[in-house]
A and B are shown apart, each in its own frame.
Chain A
Amino acid sequence: MISGEGRPEDARERFERVTRTLYEPLQRFARRRTTGEVVDDVVAETLLVLWRRLDEVVEGDELAWCYGVARRVLANHHRSAARARRLVDRLSSATSASAAVDATGRDGDEVRTALATLSSKDRQVLMLWAWEGLEPRDIAVVLDVSPNAAAIRLHRSKQRLRRQLDRRKSWSDAGQPTVGHPEN
């Protein structure tokens, strides 16, 4: 075991430097996917893993690498007993979620619904691309797949989202309700 204080000064310098740029996006990543005190837990646990394993992280990959860790930390929280309470939190947040839909207008509502009805794998890659602003190379780091696999996954997920949006538009143009349809 090596004490934290015993780390070379350049490690501390690098950690300070990278956390200056990734602290904010990491919080956004967590807040987009969870609520309450779990956000702080995800950020703190992720940065702790970064500190411990900094030597293994490729220069320039730190943010995407942290997103990958945060994804696993989230999964860990997900398995904990506190999740039962989180479900109630989510349900009680339904009102504020609905208000957000109203504020973004009809398009936002349609996009949110189209995204929510895709598979979780599609949503994951699209959220990383659009919300975190990642390109396939960095998505590959987050998901621990090859850049080629990430590019293919992103391409297919975009296609499926477009199909969902087109379908909804055609229903809308035809004056049909967007609720109560079979998926396939």
Chain B
Amino acid sequence: MDDNLRQLLAQIDPVPAHVAVDDASSSRARTLLEEIMSTPINTTTAKDAGPGRAQDGQRRVPMLIGGVAAAAIAAVAVVVLVVGDDDAPASRQTLAIDAPGTTISSCLPFDVNVLAEMPVAFAGTVTEMSDTTVTVEVDRWYRASTGETDLVDVTLPEENTSAALDGVDFATGQRYLLTATDGTVNGCGFSGPATSELESAFDSAFPE
């Protein structure tokens, strides 16, 4: 059963074994390796911090290059639906963003067909920002399996706010196109500032 699942995933491997990559004995590789081996060795810094099985029985604290701790943020999806007149409080729901180390290393190539499968997709403008939360006022719901609320609060990772949106920080007054699965905003190009390219992709994926 495991073999079957592995086989299914292997067939969508974008770089399977039969696709040639640069050989370690190529002149390009040799130049790179020689250059590296002639590089001065600095004292270990956080910049170099790598993973590894701890050799002293204790697990090292994971470090990202740049010193950002890889803290995954649990997805929280709280939906509060309030239907009423204009005086009623705005309805809102909460989404989370994964820490960057998780998001980028699991990206698949952008595909409108995949975008079309996202259970939550909307457009909106950032109206409020704090250290922990960004509030988005929704102007269009493309798909709303968790309900069409007026506002969406996006809970940010503790030490980094930008990775899930392709390195673009949230900014008040900026309009974004966002998708989410299981209460977590999807990165990998499936969410981002509302450029004409992304909007056109959303229009294709979610025809009215």
A residues contacting B by CB (< 8 A) are: 1-5, 7, 12, 15-16, 19-21, 23-24, 27-28, 31-35, 43-44, 47-53, 56-58, 61, 64-65, 68-84, 86-88, 90-94, 96-98, 100-101, 104, 107-109, 111-113, 115-121, 123-124, 126-127, 129-131, 140-146, 158, 161-162, 165, 178-184
Task: Say yes or no: A23 contacts B29, CB within 8 Å.
Answer: yes
Task: Say yes or no: A91 contacts B102, CB within 8 Å.
Answer: no
Please tell me if B2 contacts chain A, counting CB pairs below 8 Å.
yes
Task: Say yes or no: B51 contacts A68, CB within 8 Å.
Answer: yes
Q: Which of B10-40 contact A (CB under 8 A)?
A: 10-15, 21-25, 29, 32-33, 36-40
Residues of chain A within 8 A (CB-CB) of B72 are: 121
> What are 12 A-B interface contacts by the 8 Å CB criterion?
A19-B24, A56-B52, A58-B53, A75-B68, A79-B160, A109-B113, A113-B114, A131-B9, A146-B59, A179-B116, A179-B117, A182-B145
Task: Say yes or no: B42 contacts A52, CB within 8 Å.
Answer: yes
Residues of chain A within 8 A (CB-CB) of B103 are: 75, 78, 120
Task: Say yes or no: B104 contacts A78, CB within 8 Å.
Answer: yes
Count of chain B residues near A, Cβ 8 A: 89
Task: Say yes or no: A3 contacts B41, CB within 8 Å.
Answer: yes
Residues of chain A within 8 A (CB-CB) of B41 are: 1-4, 7, 51-52
A-B pair count, CB < 8 Å, reads 291
CA distance A178 to B22 in the complex (A): 38
Say how far B7's CB is from chain A's closest CB, in angstroms: 8
CA distance A143 to B112 in the complex (A): 30
Contact partner of B107 among A4, A33, A107, A145, CB < 8 A?
A33
Per-residue 0/1 for B173-193: is the Cβ within 8 Å of any A Cβ (1 yes, 0 no)?
000000001101011110011
Say how far A20's CB is from chain B's closest CB, in angstroms: 5
Asked whether A84 and B166 contact (CB < 8 A) given A24-B21, A79-B160, the answer is yes
Asked whether A120 and B110 contact (CB < 8 A) given A75-B65, A104-B11, the answer is no
Say how far A126's CB is from chain B's closest CB, in angstroms: 6
CA distance A56 to B8 in the complex (A): 36
Say how far A73's CB is from chain B's closest CB, in angstroms: 6
Task: Say yes or no: A73 contacts B65, CB within 8 Å.
Answer: yes
Residues of chain B within 8 A (CB-CB) of A74 are: 104-105
Task: Say yes or no: B24 contacts A80, CB within 8 Å.
Answer: no
Task: Say yes or no: B106 contacts A79, CB within 8 Å.
Answer: no
Asked whether A90 and B145 contact (CB < 8 A) given A28-B15, A51-B37, A75-B163, the answer is no
- Of the candidates A4, A87, A158, the one having the most CB atoms from chain B within 10 angstroms of its own CB is A87
Task: Say yes or no: B181 contacts A119, CB within 8 Å.
Answer: yes
CA distance A33 to B2 in the complex (A): 23
Residues of chain B within 8 A (CB-CB) of A180 are: 116, 143
Stretch of B80-88, B125-133, B148-156, B194-202 contacting A (4+ beta carbons < 8 Å): B194-202
CA distance A76 to B46 in the complex (A): 13
Closest to B77 in A: A184
Say how far A133's CB is from chain B's closest CB, in angstroms: 8
Task: Say yes or no: A115 contacts B108, CB within 8 Å.
Answer: yes
Residues of chain B within 8 A (CB-CB) of A96 are: 109
Task: Say yes or no: B167 contacts A78, CB within 8 Å.
Answer: yes
Task: Say yes or no: B167 contacts A79, CB within 8 Å.
Answer: yes
CA distance A17 to B55 in the complex (A): 22
Residues of chain A within 8 A (CB-CB) of B195 are: 87-88
CA distance A183 to B144 in the complex (A): 10
Please tell me if B162 contacts chain A, counting CB pairs below 8 Å.
yes
Task: Say yes or no: B168 contacts A83, CB within 8 Å.
Answer: yes
Closest to A48 in B: B36
Asked whether A69 and B51 contact (CB < 8 A) given A24-B24, A79-B66, A87-B192, the answer is yes
